């Protein structure tokens, strides 16, 4: 019997997506925010993540005071539903102002737009009661390297982060690295890059990381090792667990869908390092397959959580003593088979 798990779970409204891809339109009709919120409750999740314009739709057409008013209204809806806001993330990849990047755009006015929008997202986060600002640096990179200077881009990133850290003494920046897509090459592709940039900011203690499994795989790295690395610096403040079949477009598959052993190792390091003990949530950044029918629309979220909890049991029942004996004997062949049979059993 598994011991009760302390983990709390989360997803974002964009994870109930409609099936559009670059080659075809949506395959499911859009659902309202209220429908998504009640779906989250029904599935037994505890928190929701928000882009700034998930929290306040059409954000660029509204005044700052109107944005904050709507954020406060959202907070009341969340409180009534008993749901926590896990984070807010400025969506800096849709606007005409972010075509050439946001903080690293070559156009000063566009850089200012990105900073203003980020500072406003911090104000939204405060209204929603979260101290985490997630920064997926979507367009901070290039299609061709000659178009920007990498050194100058790091300076611009640090300047932007410093402004955010100065804007609110409590906010923590959780940078979500990804090596490519939409860009050819991104400037902050891995957790090592995140921590290096964090060390240059005015408050490295408040600058940390969010790890997404698929993004690690796209960088050719092992998500469990990336988790261990971030946690050895006390810097893992959120995770986007999902899966990815090799070096392809960003797939956001259900957790464990492609590589169950990798998923087991991710859960194992999270448990070993006490993830969640300081209030961190387990978030799934997963999408339904395009083929998914409306009646099966939430299965990818429910399944990711089920798989995670099954793997918690697998970690709890893994024979650590036997593993240690095999390690001491340097019998890694037997250790390999032991892991396989444990997962099959």
Catalytic residue (choose from 51, 215, 240, 300): 51
Q: How do 9-11 and 84-89 pair as beta strands?
A: unpaired
Q: Compare residues 226 and 250 and give the one whose CB is closer to ligand XLS.
A: 250
Binding-site size for ligand XLS (CB under 6 A) equals 9
**What residues between 13 and 72 interact with ligand XLS by CB under 6 A?**
none
Active site residue 51: yes
Q: Would you list the DSSP string of 120-174?
A: HHHHHHHHHT--EEEEE-TTSEESSGGGS-HHHHHHHHHHHHHHHHHH-SS-EEE
176 binds ligand XLS, rule: CB under 6 A = yes
Binding site for Mg ion (CB under 5 A): 212, 240, 285
Q: Compare residues 51 and 314 and give the one whose CB is closer to Mg ion.
A: 51
Q: Say how far apart CA 230 and CA 188 lie, in whole Å.
A: 14
285 binds ligand XLS, rule: CB under 6 A = yes
For 177-198, b/e burial (b = at least 16 CB within 10 A) is bbbbeebeebbbbbbbbbbebb
Q: Would you list the DSSP string of 51-110?
A: EHHHHSTTGGGS-HHHHHHHHHHHHHHHHHHT-EEEEEE---SSSGGGTT-STT-SSHHH
140 binds ligand XLS, rule: CB under 6 A = no
Residue with tokens 């896990």: 86
Cα angle, residue 97 at apex, residues 195 and 87 outer, rounded to 5°: 45
Residue with tokens 């200012």: 112
Task: Return the residue of 173, 250, 256, 314 that touches ligand XLS, per CB under 6 A.
Answer: 250
Q: Compare residues 154 and 283 and give the one whose CB is closer to ligand XLS.
A: 283
Catalytic residue (choose from 53, 54, 243, 250): 54
Q: Say how far apart CA 294 and CA 110 lie, in whole Å.
A: 39
Could you tell me the smallest distance in angstroms from the CB atom of residue 52 to ligand XLS? 10
The residue with its CB nearest to ligand XLS is 136
Is 225 exposed, middle or buried (CB count within 10 Å of its CB: 0-12, 13-18, 19+)?
Answer: middle
226 binds ligand XLS, rule: CB under 6 A = no
Question: Which one of ligand XLS, Mg ion, none interacts with residue 123, CB within 5 to 8 A by kind?
Answer: none
Question: Which one of Mg ion, ligand XLS, none interacts with residue 89, CB within 5 to 8 A by kind?
Answer: ligand XLS
139 binds ligand XLS, rule: CB under 6 A = no
Structure tokens at 200: 């240059």
178 binds ligand XLS, rule: CB under 6 A = yes
Question: Which one of Mg ion, ligand XLS, none interacts with residue 178, CB within 5 to 8 A by kind?
Answer: ligand XLS
Q: How far apart are the first and last CA of the chain?
A: 15
Task: Return the residue of 55, 71, 89, 267 that touches ligand XLS, per CB under 6 A.
Answer: 89
212 binds ligand XLS, rule: CB under 6 A = yes
Q: Compare residues 57 and 274 and give the one whose CB is closer to ligand XLS.
A: 57
Question: Which one of Mg ion, ligand XLS, none interacts with residue 52, CB within 5 to 8 A by kind?
Answer: none
Catalytic residues: 51, 54
Residues making contact with ligand XLS (CB under 6 A): 89, 134, 136, 176, 178, 212, 240, 250, 285
């Amino acid at each position: 019997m598994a011991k009760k798990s302390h983990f709390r779970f989360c997803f974002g409204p964009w994870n109930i997506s409609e099936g559009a891809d670059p080659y075809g339109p949506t395959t499911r009709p859009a659902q309202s925010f209220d429908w998504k919120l009640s779906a989250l409750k029904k599935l037994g999740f505890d928190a929701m993540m928000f882009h700034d314009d998930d929290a306040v739709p059409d954000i660029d057409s509204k005044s700052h005071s109107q944005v904050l008013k709507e954020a406060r209204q959202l907070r009341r809806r969340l409180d009534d539903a008993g749901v926590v806001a896990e984070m807010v993330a400025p969506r800096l990849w849709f606007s005409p102002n972010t075509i050439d990047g946001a903080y690293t755009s070559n156009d000063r006015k566009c850089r200012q737009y990105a900073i203003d929008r980020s500072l406003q997202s911090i104000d939204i986060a405060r209204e929603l009661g979260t101290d985490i600002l997630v920064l997926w640096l979507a367009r901070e990179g290039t299609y061709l390297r000659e178009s920007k200077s990498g050194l100058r881009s790091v300076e611009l990133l640090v300047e932007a982060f410093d402004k955010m850290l100065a804007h609110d003494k409590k906010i923590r920046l959780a940078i979500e690295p990804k090596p490519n897509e939409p860009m050819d090459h991104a400037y902050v592709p891995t957790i090592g890059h995140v921590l290096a940039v964090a060390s240059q900011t005015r408050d490295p203690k408040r600058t940390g990381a969010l790890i997404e499994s698929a993004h690690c795989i796209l960088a050719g790295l092992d998500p469990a090792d990336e988790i261990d690395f971030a946690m050895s610096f006390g810097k893992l403040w959120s995770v986007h667990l999902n899966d990815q079949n090799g070096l392809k477009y960003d797939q956001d598959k259900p957790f464990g869908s492609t590589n169950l052993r990798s998923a087991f190792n991710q859960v194992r390091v999270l448990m070993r390092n006490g993830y969640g003990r300081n209030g961190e949530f387990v978030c799934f950044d997963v999408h339904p397959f395009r083929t998914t029918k409306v009646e099966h629309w939430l299965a990818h979220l429910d399944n990711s959580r089920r798989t995670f909890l099954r793997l918690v049991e697998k970690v709890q029942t893994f024979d650590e003593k036997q593993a240690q004996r095999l390690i001491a004997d340097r019998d890694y062949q037997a250790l390999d088979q032991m892991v396989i049979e444990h997962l099959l059993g």
